[in-house]
Amino acid sequence: MLDCRGVTRFFGPWPALREVSFRLPAGALVLLLGPNGAGKSTLLHILAGALRASDGQVEIEGIAIGEARARQRVGLLAHRSLLHPDLTVRENLAHYAALYGFPGAEVAAGLARVRADSFADVPVGELSQGMRQKAALARALLHSPQVLLLDEAFSSLDHRTVEEMRGILQAFRAEGRTILASTHSEGQLSDFADGALELDRGRLVQGRGCMEAGR
């Protein structure tokens, strides 16, 4: 499903990632662990095709991430929501649906998927942190990606919202889709994660569970 082979990334002379290799199968939920500065966000953006690797290769379902049809198979929920604060949640999703060439029905399905109907017509800038994060998740899932990448998606969320997000992720994985989730709080997902990858100073130092690591 997701194959990362020898991925290296330099920023100037400094290596942010060094020969990172692993493979995640369909239907897996895997944690991405490591201290601040370990390279987690850099890796996720490379896997999403939002950042180019200096060396190595990423494939989604056998398609190189440099191709548009591979990037269309990936959803990324990063620190920035990518939602316009002056538009309502529904309007934001309609904007992205238009970019994807989807009919309006996809917006309603996206709202229902994350249980956002109750605040669908509220401007994003007026939402609580938890509501805004659920709206951002709806945006990341709108095109039904095969792989979902999460970069500290549960940060600063209350317990209720965390539980709601967990339920959404469990349902997504049950559809045979793959999730790689960066987190500082391993316990938020560890009870139903299939494994974990750990980065330290840009290197993959540990992999456990359902992936092949360090190939």
Span 39-83, pLDDT tens digits: 999 999 999 999 999 999 999 999 999 998 999 899 999 888 899
CA distance 185 to 96: 30
Q: How many CB atoms lie within 10 A of CB 143?
A: 18
Alpha-carbon dihedral sign for residues 196, 203, 141, 72: negative
| 142 within 8 A of 113, measured Cβ to Cβ | no
Give residue-wise pLDDT tens across range 36-51: 899 999 999 999 999 9
pLDDT of residue 95: 93
CB 139 within 8 A of CB 94: no
- With vertex at residue 163, the alpha carbon angle to CA 116 and CA 111, rounded to the nearest 5 degrees, is 15
State how far Cα 75 lies from the chain centre.
6
Domains and CATH numbers, the chain: 1-73+149-215 (3.40.50.300), 84-144 (no CATH)
Tell me what pLDDT residue 173 has: 92
- 206 vs 96, higher pLDDT: 96
pTM of the model: 0.92
Return the structure tokens found at 198.
């750990």
Q: What is the pLDDT of residues 167-202, one digit of tens each?
A: 999 999 999 999 999 987 767 788 889 999 999 999
Q: What's the CA gap between 153 and 155, in Å, rounded?
A: 6
Q: Which of 205, 190, 148 is nearest to 172 (CA)?
A: 148
Distance CA 139, CA 205 (A): 32
Q: Report the distance separating Cα 146 and Cα 166, nearest Å.
A: 18
Distance CA 115, CA 135 (A): 9
